[in-house]
Chains A and B, each alone.
Chain A
């Protein structure tokens, strides 16, 4: 009787990945510097760390900025607390580029890096930098002994969302595909059972589409700064939702059961093809902010970090299983409802 082991397993996996995803600490990082410009001459900046140990590792703490190949060291540093320090730079040299990358290094956190942390202000940008300082005695390489997620600039804590947002889209595509297959099956042999299966799978798909839209919207707010940005991938996702809403409108607008099943199956096949065309193909032709599109890295960006992958892959499988389970439950519900109706009549 226990052929349903995968359901419990996927529910368990989803729950575990959610808990692990929320409980795992983020690795140390530098989310913030203030001000974000280095003036000609002396500038004093505040560097805000996250999960860092500036005080504990104060003896080995080193900080420097890098411009092109030139490295500049502060003439003065002060540690305020574990996550805050101040550093004063004095830069009067000719620069290679407009941006400075910031590096902080200590024995506990390892080397932290914030790309393009500072913009130069009032300095001369030329071909050859004047000087390079050597402010490193040694670089401490830290072997990760704690389990944590990578701390990416801009993403910061929101990186956990990858464990909800991305799997929900995978799950949606899977159940939509199931719905498509049942629609094709229905057209082949007109068994109403297949139509019900297609409908319930589409229902489950719509649920996961809404989850994906909601989590994506939150993520966009905290990384790109707006709840919705006009982006081919986002518009494609909204279009997918529209397609399936239209599918349900079509289904409910025809009272004849056979006819509505036939129309819905035809529309499902037609619309699914167009939706895939839109979501998968067209955005690759234009620029997009979304990872995986327009030259933006998708998962390779996180490839370096096996910790996140260890949770991400099971999460995808778990969410897919959960989506199939929900579709099946809904199918059974409808069958039971139909049976009760016929019994009453």
Chain B
């Protein structure tokens, strides 16, 4: 009975190598065409600036928190929307020969997560600079940083499949919003709740439930994407 175990480990190994190849390919593409990653960053900065002009300083914790996550949400839509629509037919064919569909979607998810993590942390820093840091006074920093990490990962994981769907229609960005917003709502509500509690300095024993729920939703969307994406990929 050693063979199946061996086979499965080979499978995981192969899968991992393919995932790494997809992520590496996307990273290389990104570094070559800096305008696209710069575009997302500029989007965040511009949104924060608009929020700053509209609000000046926000001292209300709930508003501060919700506003940040709304900006992060739209930034994540923007970032995720490019993950498939940027691929030309030739590059799709290259990806197809490079890796299995499962590896492609997992790779794209990981890549999106890395991208969004950078964006969210940068955005958070700019947000604090512009809209004030008074809501952070009582913050539980560990939980707050965890909320940023979980939030960025969850958003990008869930939106990757939506992006793959939207990329196959004619109106990519519009479809992204129409399809994505209803799907993302449970997750974004959980994230907002979790980080609000983190800002209020509520103990982990109470707030930890939300972290686990965010993890559960993220894993669920990972699993669903893993199963469903191959049907979108075969063409």
Contacts and interface: CB of A to CB of B under 8 A. Distances in A.
Partners in one complex: yes
Q: Which of B161, B165, B235 has the most CB of A within 10 A?
A: B165
Q: Which of A187, A239, A265, A266 has the most CB of B within 10 A?
A: A266
Given A263-B165, A263-B168, A266-B165, A239 B185 contact: yes
Interface in A1-35: none
Contacts of B217: 277
Interface stretch (A99-107, A125-133, A206-214, A243-251): A243-251
A282 B186 contact: yes
Contacts of A142: none
A243 B179 CA distance: 7
Contacts of A274: 182-183, 185-186, 221
B231 A246 contact: no
B228 interface: yes
Given A242-B182, A262-B232, A270 B168 contact: no
Contacts of B185: 239, 274, 278
Contact of A187 (B182, B213, B231): B231
A162 interface: no
A267 B179 contact: yes
Interface in A278-327: 278, 282, 285
Given A187-B231, A253-B175, A246 B182 contact: yes
B182 A271 contact: yes
A341 B190 CA distance: 48
A174 interface: no
A271 B162 CA distance: 10
Q: Which of B171, B190, B228 has the most CB of A within 10 A?
A: B228
Given A269-B224, A273-B224, A242 B181 contact: yes
Contact of B178 (A250, A263, A269, A278): A250
A191 interface: no
Contacts of B169: 250, 253-254, 263
B129 interface: no
B178 A270 contact: no
A40 B113 CA distance: 67
Contacts of B178: 246, 249-250
Contacts of A253: 169-171, 175
Contact of B220 (A187, A262, A277): A277
Given A250-B175, A274-B182, A274-B186, A267 B224 contact: no
Nearest to A276: B186
A270 B226 CA distance: 11
Nearest to B186: A278
Interface residues of B, number: 28
B186 A246 contact: no
B173 to A, nearest CB: 13
Contact of B232 (A242, A263, A271, A273): A263
A275 B220 CA distance: 13
B186 A250 contact: no
A278 B190 CA distance: 11
A265 B182 contact: no
A259 interface: yes
B231 A265 contact: yes
A211 B85 CA distance: 38
B193 to A, nearest CB: 8
Q: Which of B171, B182, B190, B217 has the most CB of A within 10 A?
A: B182
B189 interface: yes
Contacts of B189: 282
A277 B217 CA distance: 9
Interface of B: 161-162, 165, 168-171, 175, 178-179, 181-183, 185-186, 189-190, 209, 213, 217, 220-221, 224-225, 228, 231-232, 235
Closest 3 CB pairs of A and B: A242-B182, A243-B182, A278-B186
